[in-house]
Amino acid sequence: MIKETQTPKAGGLYIQFENGTTESEVETILENCNMTVNYTIDYDSDYMLKRDYITVDQDKRMDIMNELRKDENFTYHDEIKKGNYTIIMLPEKFIPDNKLLTTLEKNNLQLKKSILCYIYLRDESKYWIPEKDAVRIKNELEKNEKVLTVGFDFLNY
């Protein structure tokens, strides 16, 4: 008996944008990344929690991280290097305490909330695209300064 191997598929993308990114900017970013499929944007979506983040100059990153780690309540999830700065993405259910806020203020850093957009991918009569196309789109999106993270939805194997 021959097993049928299915190609992984993506039905959508979760994209976190910098705080302040407008819906028209999101549309322009998607248009400029050579989207080869039809899509619909759910701007400022509530599918996932919006994540807090801080932006740190690359040359101050270690000093800031060492100071933040002194707060036992501080944890971070991801670090994203963009040009000469690093974006520190905090956990989804992060609640800042006074010690953290004092550290941020002392270092002239702002706690910001990302803008989450869900992109429904459509190709002709299908409600998905092949994973390789989704990966290419993800790679193009991540080059944009306003894009923080990109994740897939509905990968079917």
pLDDT of residue 1: 47
pLDDT of residue 5: 55
pLDDT digits (tens, 9 = 90+) for 67-90: 888 877 777 668 899 889 999 988
pLDDT of residue 74: 76
Question: Residue 131: helix, strand or coil by DSSP?
Answer: helix
- Tell me which residue has tokens 């707060």: 71
The domain made up of 52-113 has a fold known as Alpha-Beta Plaits (3.30.70)
Q: State the sign of the Cα–Cα–Cα–Cα dihedral 17, 139, 31, 57.
A: positive
Q: Amino acid identity, residue 154?
A: F
Q: Amino acid identity, residue 79?
A: E
pLDDT of residue 2: 46
- 157 exposure class (CB count in 10 Å sphere: 0-12, 13-18, 19+): exposed
Tokens (6 digits) for 11: 């039905």
pTM: 0.85
- Give CA separation, 91 vs 48, 49, 100, in Å: 12, 10, 14
The domain made up of 9-47+114-153 has a fold known as Alpha-Beta Plaits (3.30.70)
How many residues are recorded in the chain? 157
pLDDT of residue 68: 83
Low-confidence ranges of the chain (pLDDT < 70): 1-5, 76-77, 123-124, 155-157
- Tell me which residue has tokens 């979760």: 14
If you ran DSSP here, which 8-state letter would residue 58 be given? G
